[in-house]
Homo-oligomer: A and B are copies of this chain.
Amino acid sequence: MVASLYRLHPALGAEPCVSCDARPLSVCGAIAPRDLQRLAELAVVRVLDPGQGFVAEGDPAEHFFNITGGMAKLFKLLPDGRRQITGFASEGQFLGIAADGVHVCSAEAVDRLHLCQFSRPKLRRLMEDFPALEKRLLDAAWSELGAAQEQILLLGRKTARERLASFLVALGRRSGCASRPPAPDGTLRVALPMSRQDIADYLGLTIETVSRTLTRLRQEGLITVPDLSAVLLREPARLRRIAEGLA
């Protein structure tokens, strides 16, 4: 199977940005329809297979990325191999945060990942012509900063049980926004495209603790686990309370 398929969109005809599902969700939404052609000329579409990396920590930051489908994980490594996943990114999210022109995280596809790649200098030039783009980027950065601080609270002060509950509730919110309403009873279906090891590395736990904790939540009737890549939240309200440390 051909992985990391590069395609220069202009060559393919059809304006990709116009019909992009992720556009309203993403910073690209700041560009008016009549200007989309310029954006499209800059975008390189890539499709990656699960596990494939596309950014390495410490590399010079030459591109920005915008996810149009699938999920990516961002992570940092310690020299001895310990790994911390700093976030999962999905449709509409903007990637490529760097300090001093160097990427601060590595990034890898979780499942089949579709993304738009922009050259940094070119996008910077575009920002000068479209201040709305920059404004949107700033809002996105602040919103990510808020999420990062929530994760800092989780890692610094929450128990394993609270971490798992927080994780499931947060995923529920993300998927719940777009898709299904609360469902018949209160049950909410959440997809888990990432592995247990990924979850552990995201929550600052070991894979064994993640597994045990999920088992316990299942035994208490708070969740159902139909298969490895999904969870049904049986009592979202109680889970939310657990996530806050109230139960």
Contact = CB atoms under 8 A, between A and B. Distances in A.
A227 interface: no
A149 B80 contact: no
Interface stretch (A108-116, A152-160, A175-183, A185-193): A152-160
A86 interface: yes
29 contacts: A76-B149, A76-B150, A76-B152, A76-B153, A78-B153, A79-B245, A79-B246, A80-B245, A84-B156, A86-B149, A86-B152, A86-B153, A97-B145, A99-B142, A104-B149, A104-B150, A128-B131, A131-B134, A134-B138, A137-B138, A138-B138, A141-B142, A145-B148, A151-B152, A152-B152, A155-B155, A156-B201, A156-B203, A156-B204
Interface of A: 74, 76, 78-80, 82-84, 86, 97-99, 104-105, 128, 131, 134-135, 137-138, 141-146, 148-153, 155-158, 201, 203-204, 244-246
